[in-house]
Each structure stands twice: as structure tokens, then as C-alpha cells.
Amino acid sequence: MTFSAGPPSQSESLSRTQVLVALGVTSVLLLLAANLWLYLQPQVLLPITLTLGDSFMGIGLGLGITCLSALIYRGWPAYRKSADSYLTMVLKPLHWMDLPWLGLLPGLSEELLFRGIMLPAMGLTPQAVIISAVSFGMLHLSSWRQWPYVIWATLMGLVLGLAAVITHNLLVPVLAHTTTNLISSLLWKGGLTKPSS
């Protein structure tokens, strides 16, 4: 879940419309960046191959990432504070019916750019996975106070990049990313992870 605008100040909050517009605009900008990259450097994209095994692998990886995030959330106070701030800004104004979009749009647009195009453009090497992961992490930097969330996003980017390289199937990181965002959003919105005050 990423937005190009910085977070609101303590005294202001975003409206549902502002969050949904930011979600849509960010996804469109990432898709435009992906298309521009392909225009300037035509290449073969990492394919999306619909297989049952890779589908289960992607969903399972997303569940694993979600569980790891929950453990880190409970054990690292700086990450918990950073995640709570970010998720409060993003999720509080949204309705339950908005949450699938919060899972799907970033899952598709971010994975297309960072794992579908960036990795093959740099040769699917370990260095490419690291560069892609750091770029993905920095995309989640909404303020310097969010550095723990950026570290988490970078680690998640490493896992998603490795999954893409190992499987040679963009479906795996797309499903993992979408599953992680959707389940985390549902848990947070349902009050199963309480924001700290």
C-alpha cells in the first residue's frame, strides 16, 4: 500500500475520497512508469502463468508474510508505531468494501513495475533483486518517521523478488502482495491489530 502524497499532520486526516483517489493515482502513475520503461527499453516481461501450484505458492507466501509482519509488529515497537501511523492514515477513512481495492491495485501495479519489469531489465540477478527491493521500500517512505515501515517494505520486496526469480512467474508475487495487503487490512480494520496511541 503506497501513496505519493506525504502523511497528514497530527491535526488533520484524509477523507475516504482522498485515500481512494491517492490509491488510484499512485497505481496509474506506477503503470505509466512501467509502460514508459517498456517504451524506452523494450524487453520480455516476466510472464504471468496461471497454474494451481504457483497460485497456492503466492497465496501461501502472502499468508507467511502476513504472519511475519504480525510477529514483527508485536516485537518491534518502532515498527508497530510506524505501521499504526501509516495504517491509520490509509485504513481509518475507508469502508469495508474498499479493502479489496487496497489489496488489488498496489498488488498489481507495484508488482508489474518492480518485479515484472525492473527485475528482467536488470537480468534477474541477486543485485537486481536488491535494487528492486530497495526501490520498493523507498516507495513506501511517506515521512522520515516511517523508516521502520520502509525497512519492512524493503524486506518484503526481497522476498517477493526472490519468489519472482525462483518461479519465473509474476503471478506468485502479485498474489502474495495482494493477499498480504488484503489480510492485513481486514485484520487492522477488524480491530485484531489495535493501533497504539
Instruction: List the chain domain ranges.
Output: 46-189
C-alpha cell at 196: 497504539
User: Residues 118-144: what's their mean pLDDT?
Assistant: 92
For the chain, give the mean pLDDT: 88
Distance in angstroms (rounded) separating the CA atoms of residues 65 and 158? 12
Write down the pLDDT at residue 197. 35
Q: Is 46 exposed, middle or buried (0-12, 13-18, 19+ CB in 10 A)?
A: buried
Residue 144 neighbours by CB under 8 Å, 6+ apart? none
Query: Is residue 29 pLDDT above 80, yes or no?
Result: yes
CB neighbourhood size of 17 (10 A): 9
Query: Is residue 90 pLDDT above 80, yes or no?
Result: yes
Write down the pLDDT at residue 194. 52
Write down the pLDDT at residue 192. 65
Write down the pLDDT at residue 142. 76
Report DSSP state, residue 5. Answer: S
pLDDT band at 140 (very low <50, low <70, confident <90, very high): confident
pLDDT band at 9 (very low <50, low <70, confident <90, very high): very low
Contact at 8 Å (CB) between 43 and 120? yes
What is the pTM for the complete model shown? 0.88
> Which one-letter amino acid corresponds to residue 124?
L
User: Residues 146-161: what's their mean pLDDT?
Assistant: 94
Q: Work out whether the CA dihedral 166, 167, 170, 172 comes out positive or negative.
A: negative
Largest CA distance in the chain: 48
C-alpha cell at 136: 520498493
Residue 76 neighbours by CB under 8 Å, 6+ apart? 148
pLDDT tens track for 99-118: 999 899 999 999 999 999 99
CA distances in angstroms from 128 to 70, 150, 168, 177, listed in the order given: 28, 18, 14, 19
Q: Is 170 helix (H, G, I), strand (E, B) or coil?
A: coil
3-state helix, strand, coil in the chain (%, to 5): 75, 0, 25
Lowest mean pLDDT among 104-113, 118-127, 138-147, 174-183: 138-147
| In the chain, % of residues over pLDDT 70 | 91
CA distances in angstroms from 138 to 4, 70, 146, listed in the order given: 11, 21, 10
User: Residues 80-85: what's their mean pLDDT?
Assistant: 87
Lowest mean pLDDT among 21-25, 107-111, 144-148: 144-148
